[in-house]
Amino acid sequence: MIKRYSTPDTDALFSEEAKMSRWLEIELAVTDALAATGVVPKSVAEECRRKAPVIDAAFVARVEAREAITNHDVAAFVDVLQESIGAPAGSWIHYGLTSTDVVDTGLCWALRDASTLIHDSLNDLIDVITTLATTHRNTAMIGRTHGVHAEPTTFGAKVALWGAQVKRDRERILRARDAIAVCKLSGAVGTYSNIEPEVEARVAQHLSLTPVPATQVVARDRHAEFLYACASVGTTLESIAVELRHLQRTEVNEVREGFAVGQKGSSAMPHKRNPISAETISGLSRVLRANAQVGLQDVPLWHERDISHSSAERIVLPDSASLAVYMTRRMARLLSNLEVDTENMQMNLNALHGVVFSQSVLLALVESGMTRDDAYRIVQSAAATAISSGTHLRDVLAADSKVTLSAKQIDTAFDLSRVLRHAGRAIDSLLEK
């Protein structure tokens, strides 16, 4: 992932040093398990751990230099590791394993930890959303359908529904973490021909992973599930971002992204304050969805394995994990610093002269004995008159002899508190654990 959209913790998780550190621990854990099962002397395993190299930039450089000869990254890693430990103990490194045992187990380990980073970032976002929703529990605004004024709602209810969706993404990430947190150390085609299942079980327990049957590779539907969970997070964030972008339009102006001291919205127009965070999140969500498609295409492999998935995964898996964390944290910052213009919300709510209460009037007429279609036509015509003339719908109805509602019935139909009396349910639901 390019630095602009990465985070320090995801960069560290997917660095070459971290990857090879995981490979080293897997190799050493296998040697420990071989000693525990009597395949190698305990002293050999102890010597391998004692002489194991520090995985740093110099070690990575040695592996890369070796790979220029072997044209195989794991073979190069094993060569340098064995050389660092020295014979005869080092000769037991990689005993009974194939390269994918190490690569897939290490990758699943990394994705498990990445899932935790995403999960924790979602938790932080949910906290921000919950605070925003409760703060604006009673902030009335116009609800829109098809981009057109519909009926009143509250900003708190809108935000709470975002939080409910983020909570569902958090559950998806947990399920994906369970699916990907697996270990495979069963040899060339997964038959344990040169290594015992007990070794796999011991290493899996040591790494807090679950041993699973496999071919030479861990089944890629697990990785596809992880990529889908990341894409779902991105899509939820884009749903929020698109709404914020609409609400920030000059003609609406109900919310605004925070604007830091010294920040510039345009290189040419000093007045501009653009929704850059929301737009960035919208754009990056497209990458996550595209990566999920790659993950699905990686599932069908030839026979017991091929490497058609490998090159793509080196890009899409760390990039998706990094983007999911980055985008979630950026959304949390956006919402933490969001400016909510309650006055403009009130102004927009009243902009169409009360026609947003048309359903309430319609139902009141039906309750008074009028047929629904007759009532609908009367209110439809009255609403059009209210909008075109700038007259409040209430006054238009009062002048219509066909409308026989009492003053109390009219008051009830136009009572904002009545319309919004249950709007807090979404917030109450969000607050439930």
* Helix (H) / strand (E) containing 272: none
Q: How many CA atoms lie within 13 A of 109 on its CB side?
A: 25
- Cα 141 to Cα 341: distance, rounded to the nearest angstrom: 10
Q: What is the DSSP string of 314-347?
A: HHHHHHHHHHHHHHHHHHHHHHHT-EE-HHHHHH
Per DSSP, the three-state class of 430 is helix
Residue 145: both structure tokens together = 């359908």
Report DSSP state, residue 306.
Answer: -
Nearest Cα neighbor of 281 from 222, 230, 340, 239 is 239
Residue 275: both structure tokens together = 């929704």
CB 21 within 8 A of CB 53: no
- Alpha carbon 377 to chain centroid, angstroms: 46
Instruction: Give bridge partners of residue 195 from the DSSP assignment.
Output: none
- Cβ-based neighbours of 157, under 8 Å, separated by 6 or more: 133, 423, 424, 425, 426, 427
Distances (CA, A) of 413 to 162, 359, 362, 370, 395: 29, 8, 9, 16, 13
Q: Would you please indicate which residues are annotated as catalytic (active-site) residues?
A: 146, 266
